Amino acid sequence: MRNHVLSSAAVLTLLALPLAACQSGTTAGAAGGAVTGAIVGGPVGAVVGGVAGAAAGSVLSADESTRVRSYVVAERRPSIRVSDEVVVGQPLPPRVRLYSVPPTVGLRTNYSYTVVNDQTVLVDPQTRTVVQVIE
């Protein structure tokens, strides 16, 4: 039985790694959580880890994301081109201008945003760290 659980965890890990490598946000959180859960707790751990990882993958609720996206579209800020991929947890280059998200948008936390490579990016204004890519 133990070998069956370990082989199931190995298969889930191998299947989830390519998915986690090419996705961002909730999907990557779900895949990463599933891989971690599978390694620790087998198939049941994969399910629990996937759900927990998905929850950790998004900072904003769906409603908040929609409000931010609508605000950004109305503001029509220019998109800045950067050669590096925009990655959650990594800081943006100093040349990228950040814009404040006004309280009227209704976020729970004070974030800034910018548009990089035609993607709306939520940023921690103190560290310039990417918090979420809004799709």
C-alpha to C-alpha distances, 117 to 7, 34, 61, 112, nearest whole angstrom: 40, 29, 23, 17
We report the CATH number of the domain holding residue 70 as 3.10.450.160
Based on the domain organization, do 68 and 99 belong to the same domain?
A: yes
What would the pLDDT profile of 113-129 be if each residue is shown by its tens digit?
999 999 999 999 999 99
Q: pLDDT tens, 62-86?
A: 999 999 999 999 999 999 999 989 9
- pLDDT tens digits, 8-61: 544 444 444 444 444 445 544 544 554 455 555 666 655 545 444 544 557 899
Q: What is the pLDDT of residue 108?
A: 83
107 conformational bin, left if phi > 0, alpha if psi -120 to 50, beta if neither:
beta
At 33 the pLDDT is 52
pLDDT confidence of residue 70? 93
In a shared domain, residues 76 and 128: yes
What are the phi and psi torsion angles at 85 (to 5°)?
Answer: -70, 140
Domain residues for 10?
2-56
Shared domain for 120 and 102, answered yes or no, is: yes
Run of H or E residues at 75: helix 62-75
pLDDT at 49: 52
Mean pLDDT for the stretch of residues 93-102: 95
Please spell the DSSP secondary structure of 2-41, one letter per residue.
Answer: HHHHHHHHHHHHHHHHHHHHH--HHHHHHHHHHHHHHHHH
**pTM tops 0.75:** no
Number of domains comprising the chain: 2
User: Is 88 found in the same domain as 28?
Assistant: no
Helical pair 2-22 and 25-56, crossing angle rounded to 10 deg:
130
**Distance between CA atoms of 101 and 39, rounded to whole angstroms?**
39
